[in-house]
Each structure stands twice: as C-alpha cells, then as structure tokens.
Structure 1
Amino acid sequence: MLIRAVEVEGRGLVDVRIGADGRIAELGPCLAGPADVHGRGGALLPGLHDHHVHLTALAAATASVRVGPRDIRGPAGLAKALREGPPGEWVRAVGYHESVAGELDRWTLDAMVPDRPVRVQHRSGAMWFLNSAALRSAGLDDGADRDGRLWRSDERLRRLVPPVRLDLAGLGLRAARRGVTGFTNADPRPAPGLARTLAVLPQRVVVMGVDATAPVKIMLDDQSLPTPTGLADTVAGARPRPVAVHCVTRVQLLVTLLALEQAGPVEGDRIEHGAVIPDEVLPWLRRLAVTVVTQPHFPVERGREYATDVSPDDRPHLYRCRSLAEAGIPPAAGTDAPYGTSDPWAVMRAAVAREDGEAVTAHAALRLFLGAPEQPARTRRLAVGSPADLCLLHVPLHEALDVLSADLVRAAYVGGRAITP
C-alpha cells in the first residue's frame, strides 16, 4: 500500500509505502507507483497505544447502567436509574461514588430495588455492592459478605453471577475511530482464556500476566500490604519478566520502591497509576529507571471528589505528569477505562488543561500514548522497518495539537490494514 503526501514528524511531507509484511518499506518524497491513499497533507502518526485499560470491563459497560457523579444525583436518581435498568434478570451498574448517594450496602439497595438482583460497582473498580436478591441468587446470602459489600471479588463473582454481554466489536470500532491501534490490558488476575477473547479486537493487545513479553501485574491494597521483603520475593518470582505494580497510595509506592531496590529492577518495570508521588521519591524513581504509567486526567475528571476524599498532604502530588518528565522520568498514560474516559484524546486535553502545576504541552500529551507497548516511555517514530500501526489525521500536526480531538482522525491501520470503516 502506498500512502501519498502525508506529514511525518521530522521528515516533512513524504510518501509512505507499506510492504506485504505489514511494515513500512519505504518513506520519502515522490515514491513510485499509484497512491492507494492520498493523505492530502494530514499528519501520519504511530497509532495510539492505551497503556493501561481493562478491556472486558469496558466492553461490559455498554450493558451496564452508569451511576457516577456526572450521570445521576442523589438517592432518588440512583433508585430511578437502577429500577429502569436494561431488561434482563440482573441489573449491573458501574461508576458509583459516595458523593452520589452515600455509602451503599444490601439494605440501602433493597430500599431502592427489592425484587430484582442488583450489583453496583464502585468507581475505583475495587468494590461491588449487592442487594439481597443478588446475594441470594449468587449463594452469598448467609456468608461473610452478607452486608452486600464485596471487596476485590471480580474473580469470584465471575463464577457466581450471569455473564454480561461484551460489546468487543463496538469497543474496537470506537477505539479505531480514535486512532487507537493497541491496548495493554491491566487486569491483575486475567480470566481464563482472556487473550483468546480479546483476539477478536482489530487492535494489537498486550495482556499483562499472560503474554510472554508483558509485565506481571501486582495488585497492592493498604489493608493487605506486604512487607518490602515480601513484595521483593514476589517481584523476584516474576523475573526475568518485568512487573507492573499498582500504586495508588503513598505507602504502596514506598513499599514498591523498597522492594524493587531489594529485588533489583529490570528494564520494563512499571508503576501503575502513581496516584501519589511525593517530591522526595522522584530521584529514587529515576535511579531505578521505572516507568510511571499514570492517568493525568483523573484530577480533572474527579477534582470535586478529590477535594474531599484525598488528604491535603497528598493533593499536591496526585497523578503527576510534568514534574515526572522534568525529573527525568518520562511518563506514559493509560485511560484506565472504564474507570476513566476511554478516549485518549480527552486524556490529552485534560493533561494540557491541568491547573495544579502538572500541565504539559500538547505535544508532550500526545507522546503519552505514542510509547512502545513493552516500553511505554520510549516514543515510537515512523521509520523503515517499523510496524505499520498508524493513525492518519485530516490535518497537519500543528493544527491537531491545537485541539487534540478524535474528530481529526481520518483512518487507523494495524500492520498496514485499515481498521476504520
């Protein structure tokens, strides 16, 4: 395939030929042969890669009721949304935060929907709330979970509740239209056969803990936090593979850095989220050469809730971006969808718009999603021999950086094959 007259960063206006092997074969002005696609001067970029996403949860979101702070307000609004949920035996709701209607348990949900199984997921993804009908149906009515609050129970619930329809076709199409050509699925305990399930997506998918080149995901919670030595043993057990450690609190990050120091870091080690990164650990992160895969949009999306939920000592250190780069720790980004927006361009706009000293330039925001899947902080560039995973824009790069919108995506290609209609 020959793509004519596209702007490639660092090369100006060129033609790009893609070989039968799905890689860039030639790149230069006035290549011979008829054009298969005329770029009309639009920018041709490496395809966007979402470095941290939960694909099956995102695919299930279309069959779920949205009950987050920006979807509904108050107990009456929550009750109405749950009662009017889509047809079927169960109601599955996602995105809940206490600012909507306070703390939830089985009895609170029973008052809203007494006669139909309901399960509501907290916005963090860490907690499910079930009403009495749901607990009875799942066989949990008289056990330790009888209050209806199930912590880190996704794996168990998969065996106990009816499966949810996964709209993987719609997910893949929506992502392609945004120029996304790859995902890193970040589930801590992938479901059996997950890689096969996700193989229907047109994008390239890296599954943590499954693919041989992918990092091993390590989940941390303050309630069950290991000692640094215990975590170092877990890290050593994963070697020679890198690890991706979930760190959303200050103590989780400190334990992780101590463990990596003890076990010895390897190329590809990652901190997932890095929700709280104090100034004093920045040199430590740089010395260990770990990558921080963060969500710079969360302080923008969740600012109102963070103002009350987060300790004042931690608020200046939330989801850092600019200060990481300035400290020599190039960040990368993942949407964390469905727990955040699934649109990388919206993440970029939020990263540029932050008002807490962590804002980055539009170009730096774009690079957050241009990293290599196995090395998210290493920016991919178009060159002869590189995979033809591409995002073609309607406009030159400088115009795109002014708006950072998915509306500017004209086409996406994986291995030289168009994945957009």
Structure 2
Amino acid sequence: MRIDAIFTDLDAHTLDPARPRATKIGVFGNRIIGFDEELDGVTADRVESLGGATVLPGFNDVHCHTAWFGLTLASVDVTALPGGLDDVYSALEKAAATTPAGEWIDATGYAHRDYDGQYPELARLDEITGDRPLFMRQTSGHAAIVNTEAMRRAGILDADFEEPVGGKVVRDAAGHPTGLVEETAQALVQDLIRPYSLDTLVEAIDLATAYYAKEGLTSFGECGIAYGWIGHSPIEITAYLRAREEGKLRARAQLMPQADGLHTIAANSADGFGIGLDAGLRTGLGDNLISIGPVKFFMDGAMSGETAAMRENYAGKDHPGYLQDDPDVLRRQILDTYASGWSLAVHAIGDAAVDAAIENIVDAQKKYGRRAVPNRIEHAGLVHDEHLATLAEHGIVVTPQAAFAEAIGDGMNASLGADRRRLLYRAKSFIDAGVPMAGSSDRPCADGNVLRGIEAYVTRATRDGDVMGSAAECLSVDEAIAAYTSQAAIGSGQGADKGTLSRGKLADFVAVDTHPRNVAPDEISTIPIRATILGGTFTHDAR
C-alpha cells in the first residue's frame, strides 16, 4: 500500500486515550490513516522526519478576529509604547506625514491602562492630523479614539445628533466630545471607512494566517463577520473563499456572522422561520476548510473599559456598565435566530449579561432542542458558582480568555474589587464542574500566540506580578493544551474531525521542540514551533 506521507522521528501526544503516544504518523487524503506498527510495510510519496520533535494536535483558537488582525498588521501600532503618550503622538505624526490630505489614518492597539489610564488629548490629535480623519481602535475592540475631522464626517458634531443604542460618545464636563467613542458608537465612524474591498480583506487573511502558521494554529473561529461594528464587508465570506482559491488561507476557518445582519425571511409559514440570512444560510454549511458557525450576539461590552454589564457597580464607580440593547429585544432576537436553525455564540462578560445569556440559551434549547454545533457564551467573564451546574447540564460552551491576564488582568482585578475578582475569567472551576471550555485569545484584543495562551492558563500572571482573578483557577499544562485542541474542536462542533490525533481525523498537527510540561510554567511561551502541518501539508516549516 502506498500513501501520501509518513511523518517519522517524532513523539506524538495524541490526546486520544485509545493510543496516547506514537512515533510515526501516516497520512492519506488529508487524514490520518495510521500510526507506528499500522504503517509496517506501507510506503509513501513523502517521508518527513520531524527530528525528534514533540507533536501535538493542531492548535485551535475558537474566538479571534482574523481579518481584523490582518488589517492591524498594516496599521499604525500604538500598543504599550515605552515613551507614553509622547510616543503615541510621534507615531501618529509619522503616519500623518505620509498620508495624503483628506485620507484616513488607521491606528490600533491603544489601551488606556498602558498609559496610566490616560487618553490622548483631542486638541493634540487634531493638531497632528489636520484634515486627515483618524480612527484609532482600542485593544479591546469595544472603543476607539477619533479626531474632530472623523467626528465631523460622522455627524457626531451635528446639533441634532442622538446617541446610538448600545453605544456612547464620551464627553467632558462641559458636554464636548473627547474623541472616545464606545461600543456601537464606533460604527458611526467605521461606516465611513467600510466596506473594505475584497482585495484588502484577502490580503489581511493572507497576512494573518501566515502569522498563525508560524504559531502552530491549524483552526480558528472568525468571531463576528460581515455585519455590525465588528464586520468588514457584507460579502466578507467571499473574501475567505477567494483567499482559499488563491492559496492564502493557511488554517481552517469557522466563520461566525454578526447578528446585526439577520432579518426577517419570507419563508413558508409551516417552516417556523424567525430571522436569518438570505437563501437559508445557517450554521453547518461548508466543509472542513471553511464552514459557517454560530451567530455572534453582543449582550454587553468589555470589562477593560467598564462597559460590561454588571449586577453591581464597578469598584469605586457609580455605574454597572450596560447591555447593548433592551434585554427583551436581545432575548427575542436570540430566540428567533435559534428557531431559524442557527447556533448561538453570545458575547457576555459582566455577570448581569451572563445571567441573561444563560437564561436565553437554556430557553432556546428547551424549546427547539440542542444543535450539532453547540451554543456558546463568548468570554464568560464573570460567572457565579450557581451558574456552573446549569452550564454543564445544558452543554453550553464557554470561551474565557486567559490571554487577557498579562495586559489587562491588573485593571480588571481593580475594576471588580477584592470580593468579586475570584469570579473573573474562571477556568479550573469550569473544568471541574464539567462545563465545556474551549481555548481562545480574542486576538487582536490580546496576544494570540497559543503557547502564550497555554502559559496564561497555567500561571494567570499579570503584568504587575499578581494573578488574574484567583490562583485557584489555574490549569495544569495538560488541561490547558486540551482547551486549545480537543476541547476547542468539541466546542466548535467539530470533534469528529479534529482535536486529537486519531485514525480517520484530519492530519492537523504542530511540532514543537519540547512538551510544555518539560519547561517552567513561565517559559511555555518560549518553546520554538518547529513545524505546522495542515491536512498532511506543511504550512510552516522551520526544521
């Protein structure tokens, strides 16, 4: 028998209890056909030595923003610049010098916590940019900083301007805009830039997934596309199809449309259709390279900017954040969407938002049953003990980001105060309670390197030497690896095809220099990636 490839000289940790370890992997037709003695007498078109590397199932980041990340790679980066706001102004000055008059300056990576809680002065931004509109996105994605020209073009300065539902234009004590726009208010400016062209999006996907390959990523969930303030074009799926056709898609993509685009569908009354997308598009369409996942809903905002909806006020503040819309409106949208065949991915960070998200998903499942692609709570930032059994009983997946610990963990701890911080971005409690938990980064809102994410699950270390939330939520190395492999596949409804190295599953794996258990916890992120293999083909090869 002759097959496509045999990978040798490796130590595979398969995460499959039926065969936990292997030293050879055979591939035929993009899938694993056998291991070790099963390959005796078998020849192959290619025999690839991995030089003694440790092999793990391919990494899977179930909640990231790939096109957005690709766009940031071509933007002005203002992430944690060492010289403070002066360095931010300097970076924008350099950009303005090469940007034609009237054209947009696009910057990304600003986090006020990196700058002692400060925001750039609007007058200084205007001085630098002149008639060039500025859109500078905060790292969280839930707020942006704009200049006066951008606000003028967006109508924010008009006398009859009204705040959008679920968003805010932040003003000073005199009522003047400061340049900070939160949540849905960002779309007022973004809509002047969008839709991005397909050429631009294909280039962004190309840049992003080339980056992913170097980090061992073979699958990802593109969380929130096509619509709303997080989407880039109403034909964003086409950009992914083009990237695939042009050889620029280097990982398997589960695409998750943003709920803002859903609308009433004039289907036959017997079908019980609520709201959806045209032609009956829904969760489950596609193949093992590009598929349609759940619909992404926003219940609330971000804890880093204190817009996430809490039961009680933030520590030392007079407000508890806010939901993105009236709770009854959000509930009706979620139930109508589920009735139409879509699975749900509900962004809920604050505990008030988590309360509503759990109630709505449970009610939807009771009425319409469970789906092959499970329902999820994205982030699940503040989950109380009483929620755990409900989440487990109903098979609701959670996607907490341990990757937030380093950059914004200290700030979130402070926002919650001593009594609530133990509930912050839990991990071990989910696993111990039997709640399905899938690994993710929310990139570019946080560092998306999976080995760094695994390290963060293990240490939860913050920038100031604390831990995010509670040390009781730290995972073992094996639990953290499973979150980004086997559990990520299950949480995406794709466990039959990936997540473990098993005969018949897709031949997606990553070769690293050593197993993460073999190094100190705070050194996991430094382990070199030797190779990334997608369907038996190298997407990254540093042997």
TM-score by length of 1: 0.88
2:499 aligned residue: 380
Which AA in structure 1 matches 2:531?
A
CA distance in 2, matches of 1:212, 1:321: 27
Runs ≥4 in structure 1, deviation > 6 angstroms?
A: none
Deviations 1:61-92 (A, max 9, x none): 11222334x32454433322322237323322
**Does residue 194 in structure 1 map to residue 204 in structure 2?**
no
CA distance in 1, matches of 2:21, 2:282: 37
**Secondary structure, aligned partner of 2:132:** coil
Question: What does 1:100-249 correspond to in 2, within 5 Å?
Answer: 100=115, 102-103=118-119, 106-107=122-123, 109-110=125-126, 113-136=129-152, 141-142=157-158, 143-144=161-162, 147=177, 148-151=179-182, 152-153=184-185, 157-161=189-193, 163=196, 166-187=203-224, 189=227, 190=231, 191-199=233-241, 200=243, 201-209=249-257, 212-213=283-284, 214-221=293-300, 222-227=322-327, 230-231=330-331, 234-239=334-339, 240-249=341-350
Between 1:166-175 and 1:132-141, the stretch displaced more is 132-141
CA distance in 1, matches of 2:282, 2:83: 41
Aligned residues: 419
In 2, are the aligned partners of 1:243 and 1:270 still within 8 Å (CA)?
yes
CA distance in 2, matches of 1:77, 1:408: 31
In 2, are the aligned partners of 1:216 and 1:238 still within 8 Å (CA)?
no
2:268 aligned residue: none
2:441 to 318, 329, 335: 335
Aligned identity (percent) is 22
Greater RCO, 1 or 2 (C-alpha within 8 Å, sep 6+): 1
1:366 aligned residue: 481
**Secondary structure, aligned partner of 1:81:** helix
2:47 aligned residue: 36
Deviations 1:32-51 (A, max 9, x none): 32662013332222211111
Stretches of structure 1 that go unaligned for 5 or more consecutive residues are: none
Between 1:179-188 and 1:364-373, the stretch displaced more is 364-373
2:317 aligned residue: none
Between 1:280-289 and 1:309-318, the stretch displaced more is 309-318
TM-superposed CA distance for 1:386, in Å, is: 0.5
Which AA in structure 2 matches 1:38?
S
CA distance in 2, matches of 1:74, 1:82: 13
TM-superposed CA distance for 1:271, in Å, is: 0.6
Root-mean-square deviation over aligned CA pairs: 2.9
Question: What does 1:295-306 correspond to in 2, within 5 Å?
Answer: 295-306=401-412
Deviations 1:132-179 (A, max 9, x none): 233345565534568344432565545412759554333222211111
**Secondary structure, aligned partner of 1:329:** coil
In 2, are the aligned partners of 1:183 and 1:206 still within 8 Å (CA)?
yes
Between 1:229-238 and 1:408-417, the stretch displaced more is 229-238
Between 1:92-101 and 1:133-142, the stretch displaced more is 133-142
TM-superposed CA distance for 1:244, in Å, is: 0.5
Stretches of structure 2 that go unaligned for 5 or more consecutive residues are: 14-18, 163-168, 170-175, 244-248, 258-280, 285-292, 301-321, 461-466
TM-score by length of 2: 0.70
**Secondary structure, aligned partner of 1:309:** helix
2:111 aligned residue: 97
**Using a 3 Å threshold, how does the CA distance of structure 1 residues 323 and 387 change in structure 2: closer, same or farther?**
same
CA distance in 1, matches of 2:51, 2:236: 40
CA distance in 1, matches of 2:355, 2:20: 43
